[in-house]
C-alpha cells in the first residue's frame, strides 16, 4: 500500500537522517525541499535566484513558490507509489495544498520529531555537509562518519558548514519554526495517522518508533479506518 510520510520538526531534529533510513526501507523517494532549493541555488537557476537571499537569512520561501515546487516533484512517476517529504509542509497553507495534491493517493502519515532547543543549537553547530554530494555528517545518527580529513567518505568532496548553520541564522530558523510550523502540528494532530516522536532518543530507537508508527497507520488504513481523514 502506498503512503505519504510528512516529517515535521525544527532544524536539527534529525528529519533528513531518519527520512533517508525510511525511504531505503520502503523503496519510496525522499523529497527534501531544502535540498531542492539548495541545488537550484548552486545551479543558478531562476528558482535558485529567487530563493537565495531568503534561505541565507533563515526565513521561509513563499507558499506559492514552495507549493509549485512540490506539485511538480510529486507529479513525477517515482512519487506515484508514495513519498517521504522532509521540510514540507512548513505552513498550514502548504499543508492544505498538499491535501489537495494527493487526494486519493494513500494516507498522509504526519510525524513530528521533537528535540529541545539547546540540543538543536548544538547539533546544527557541529553539522557539516559535503559540498559536492550533500551528504550530512555529524548530525544525529548520521550513518556516515567523515574520514577525519574533512573529506566526504562517499565522494571525496570537501566537508563544509551550511551557510545557514551559523548561530544567528540558526536562531532565526528556530524562531520561524515556532511561529509558522508549530501550527501545523495542530493541523495534523487530530488525525489517527499523526504521531509525535522523541528525537532525543538514540537514532536507532527513533527509526524503530517511526517504523512502528508507519505500520500501525497502514494497518488502520487497510482496515478501512479513518486513517485518511
Q: Which of 162, 171, 175, 205 is catalytic?
A: 162
CB closer to ligand AMP out of 33 and 142: 33
Q: Is 123 marked active-site?
A: no
CB closer to ligand AMP out of 147 and 178: 178
Q: Which of 21, 30, 128, 173 is catalytic?
A: 173
**Backbone torsions φ then ψ of 61, nearest 5 degrees:** -70, 150
CB closer to ligand AMP out of 37 and 102: 37
Q: Which of 21, 30, 123, 127 is catalytic?
A: 127
- Smallest separation, CB 19 to ligand AMP (Å): 11
Q: Is 80 marked active-site?
A: no
Residue nearest ligand AMP by beta-carbon distance: 34
Q: Is 128 marked active-site?
A: no
Residue 69 has, within 13 A of its CA and on its CB side, a CA count of: 26
Burial class (CB in 10 A: 0-12, 13-18, 19+), 141: middle
User: Cell 550513518, residue?
Assistant: 143
Q: Which of 15, 21, 30, 38 is catalytic?
A: 15
Chain positions contacting ligand AMP, by CB under 6 A: 11, 33-34, 37, 54-55, 58-61, 66, 87-90, 94, 164, 173
Q: Is 162 marked active-site?
A: yes
Beta-carbon contacts of 168 under 8 Å, excluding residues fewer than 6 positions away, are 58
Burial class (CB in 10 A: 0-12, 13-18, 19+), 117: middle
- Smallest separation, CB 133 to ligand AMP (Å): 15
- Smallest separation, CB 176 to ligand AMP (Å): 7
- DSSP type of residue 32: E
Q: Which helix (H) or strand (E) holds 31?
A: strand 30-32
Q: Long-range contacts: 26-29, Cβ < 8 Å, 24+?
A: 26/82, 26/214, 27/81, 28/2, 28/3, 28/79, 28/81, 28/82, 28/83, 28/84, 29/78, 29/79, 29/83, 29/84
- Smallest separation, CB 78 to ligand AMP (Å): 20
Q: Is 127 marked active-site?
A: yes
Report the distance separating Cα 121 and Cα 4, nearest Å: 29
- Smallest separation, CB 169 to ligand AMP (Å): 8
CB closer to ligand AMP out of 74 and 218: 74
Q: Which of 21, 30, 90, 123 is catalytic?
A: 90
Instruction: Give the residue numbers marked as catalytic.
Output: 15, 90, 127, 162, 173
Amino acid at each position: 500500500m502506498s503512503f505519504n510520510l510528512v516529517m515535521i520538526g525544527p532544524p536539527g531534529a534529525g528529519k533528513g537522517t531518519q527520512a533517508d533510513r525510511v525511504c531505503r526501507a520502503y523503496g519510496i523517494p525522499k523529497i527534501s525541499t531544502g535540498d531542492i532549493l539548495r541545488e537550484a541555488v548552486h545551479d543558478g537557476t531562476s528558482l535558485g535566484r529567487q530563493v537565495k537571499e531568503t534561505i541565507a537569512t533563515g526565513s521561509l520561501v513563499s507558499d506559492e513558490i514552495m507549493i509549485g515546487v512540490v506539485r511538480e516533484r510529486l507529479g513525477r512517476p517515482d512519487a506515484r507509489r508514495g513519498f517521504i517529504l522532509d521540510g514540507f509542509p512548513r505552513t498550514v497553507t502548504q499543508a492544505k495544498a498538499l491535501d489537495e495534491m494527493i487526494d486519493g493517493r494513500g494516507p498522509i502519515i504526519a510525524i513530528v520529531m521533537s528535540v529541545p532547543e539547546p540540543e538543536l543549537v548544538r547539533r546544527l553547530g557541529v553539522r557539516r555537509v559535503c559540498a559536492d554530494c550533500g551528504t550530512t555528517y555529524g548530525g544525529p545518527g548520521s550513518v556516515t562518519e567523515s574520514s577525519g580529513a574533512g573529506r566526504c567518505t562517499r565522494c571525496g568532496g570537501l566537508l563544509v558548514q551550511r551557510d545557514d548553520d551559523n548561530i544567528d541564522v540558526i536562531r532565526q530558523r528556530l524562531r520561524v519554526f515556532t511561529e509558522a510550523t508549530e501550527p501545523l502540528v495542530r493541523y495534523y494532530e487530530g488525525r489517527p495517522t499523526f504521531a509525535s516522536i522523541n528525537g532525543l532518543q538514540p537514532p536507532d530507537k527513533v527509526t524503530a518508533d517511526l517504523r512502528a508508527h508507519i505500520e500501525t497507520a497502514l494497518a488502520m488504513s487497510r482496515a478501512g479506518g479513518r486513517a485518511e481523514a
